[in-house]
C-alpha cells in the first residue's frame, strides 16, 4: 500500500525521472534508478551472490539479536522505555554501514514494493541482479532463526528461568543458593572497589 501511495503522490516527478533513466541508462531498474525508490537492487559491480547473501545474513542476524535482547526480561541494560531507541539505533547502524552495498532487511518491506515496482517499471524489478530477489526476500527468515537460536543458547540468562521454577539447577536448591551467593559477593566486591 505504501508503494502505491508513493506512486500516486509523486506520479509526475516519478514519470519525469523514469524518462531520464530510460534516456540515459535504457531502463529505470537499477541501483540509483527511479525503481530503486521502491525496493533495493544490487550495484552493477555486485555480481557475487555469496557476498550479497552473507552481507544480508549478517545485517539481519545483528538486528535479530538486538531485538531478541530487547525482548529478554533478564536483560538489565534495556528498559521498556528504551527499547524503540535501541532497535532504532541497531537499524540505523546497519543502514549507515551497509545500505550503500544493497540491503533489504525485511521480507515484508521488500516483496510488496517490488510487486509495485514490477507493475509500474516492468518485470525487470524481479529479474534484475542475477537472482538477487531471492536474497532480498528470503534471507531474513533463516538469519532471524539463527539470531534467535544464538541468543537463546549463548547469551540468555538462565538464572531467571531457574528462579521462575521452569528449570532446576544441576545441584538443586543448594547449588542455586551457592550460585546466587557467589554472584552477590562478586557484585559487592566490585562495588567496594569502585568506592
User: In the chain, pLDDT over 70 holds for what percent of residues?
Assistant: 83
Residue 17 burial class via C-beta count within 10 angstroms: exposed 0-12, middle 13-18, buried 19 and up: middle
Q: % helix / strand / coil in the chain, to the nearest 5? A: 75, 0, 25
State how far the Cα of 158 lies from the Cα of 170, in Å rounded to an integer: 12
C-alpha cell, 51:
557476498
pLDDT at 129 (0 to 100):
76
pLDDT, tens digit (0-9, with 9 covering 90-100), for 9-27: 999 999 999 999 899 988 8
Handedness of CA 127, 131, 134, 140 (dihedral sign): negative
Sign of the torsion formed by the C-alpha atoms of 167, 171, 174 and 180: negative
pLDDT, tens digit (0-9, with 9 covering 90-100), for 104-150: 888 888 888 899 999 998 888 888 877 888 888 899 999 999 999 99
Cβ atoms within 10 Å of 88's Cβ, excluding its own:
10
Cα 42–chain centre separation:
18
All three cell numbers of 36? 530503486
pTM of the model: 0.74
pLDDT tens digits for range 157-170:
766 655 565 556 66
Domain regions of the chain by residue span: 2-156
pLDDT of residue 97: 92
Distance, in Å, from the CA atom of 50 to the CA atom of 17, rounded to the nearest integer, reads 32
Superfamily of domain 2-156: Glycerol uptake facilitator protein. (1.20.1080.10)
Amino acid at each position: 500500500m505504501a508503494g502505491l501511495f508513493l506512486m500516486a503522490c509523486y506520479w509526475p516527478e516519478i514519470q519525469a525521472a523514469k524518462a531520464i533513466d530510460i534516456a540515459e541508462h535504457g531502463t529505470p531498474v537499477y541501483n540509483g534508478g527511479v525503481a530503486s525508490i521502491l525496493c533495493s537492487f544490487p550495484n552493477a559491480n555486485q555480481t557475487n551472490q555469496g557476498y550479497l547473501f552473507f552481507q544480508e545474513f549478517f545485517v539481519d542476524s545483528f538486528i535479530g539479536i538486538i531485538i531478541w535482547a530487547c525482548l529478554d526480561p533478564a536483560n538489565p541494560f534495556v528498559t521498556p522505555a528504551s527499547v524503540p531507541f535501541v532497535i532504532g539505533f541497531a537499524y540505523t547502524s546497519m543502514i549507515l554501514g551497509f545500505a550503500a552495498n544493497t540491503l533489504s532487511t525485511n521480507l515484508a518491506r521488500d516483496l510488496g514494493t517490488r510487486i509495485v515496482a514490477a507493475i509500474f517499471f516492468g518485470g525487470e524489478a524481479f529479474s534484475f541482479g542475477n537472482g538477487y530477489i531471492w536474497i532480498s526476500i528470503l534471507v531474513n527468515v533463516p538469519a532471524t532463526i539463527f539470531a534467535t537460536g544464538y541468543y537463546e543458547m549463548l547469551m540468555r540468562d538462565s538464572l531467571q528461568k531457574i528462579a521462575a521454577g521452569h528449570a532446576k539447577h544441576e545441584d538443586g536448591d543448594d547449588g542455586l543458593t551457592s550460585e546466587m551467593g557467589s554472584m552477590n559477593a562478586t557484585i559487592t566486591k566490585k562495588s567496594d572497589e569502585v568506592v
